[in-house]
Every structure is written in C-alpha cells, then in structure tokens.
Amino acid sequence: TTAAAYGEMVLSDDTATEGTAECVDVKRALMKKVAQLTKVVVHLNARNDEAEARYDKLGKDFEDEIRTAVGDAASKIGTQRNQLEELIDPAQLAAEAGHRTSPWVCKREHVC
C-alpha cells in the first residue's frame, strides 16, 4: 500500500515545506468544519430532546383532561340514574298515585 492509496499527500523534497504548510491549513480548516458540525449536531439533539419533553407533557395533560371529563360524565350519569330510579320506584309511584287520586275519588263518590 502506498501513501497515495490512503489519500495522503506525497511530497517531493522541493515542495515539502510548502506542502506541509498547505496540509496544516487544510487540516485546520477540516478541524474547524468538524467542530462546527459537532455544534450543530449537539444543538439539534438538544432541540429534539426539548420537543420530545414538550410532546410528552402535552400528551400527559391531554390524558389528565380526558380522565377528568370521563370522571365528570360518570358522576353526572350516576346522578341521573339515581334520579330515574327514584322516579320509577313502584312503591313510590303507587303511593303518589294513591295520593293524587284520593281527591278525585272523594269528589266522584261525593264522600268528602
């Protein structure tokens, strides 16, 4: 394997000093670019983490809101069911019917 096969600069003795300075400049530029890209990646990862946290909180808030709405609805349904059971209680209906019909029976039979 040769140095050229690995992408290394092959320099002659005449251009060694000039080539080394150029090589250092290229390395420095590449290192700056890698540093910039690393900062970008770190920034994007941080933004992604923040967005995930925000969406997790939003999802939990929605679940809490749904749970509250379901609880309120269940409570209202229970209240309405109890009222309905009171209204259709046979003993209470019979007592109320007797109470309401007694004045009419009295008037009809003229026994008042």
25-74 pLDDT per residue, tens: 999 999 999 999 999 999 999 999 999 999 999 999 999 999 999 999 99
**pLDDT, greater one: 2 or 69:** 69
Q: How far apart are CA 6 and CA 44, in angstroms?
A: 33
| pTM above threshold 0.75 | no
Burial class (CB in 10 A: 0-12, 13-18, 19+), 11: middle
* Residue 51 token pair: 């967005």
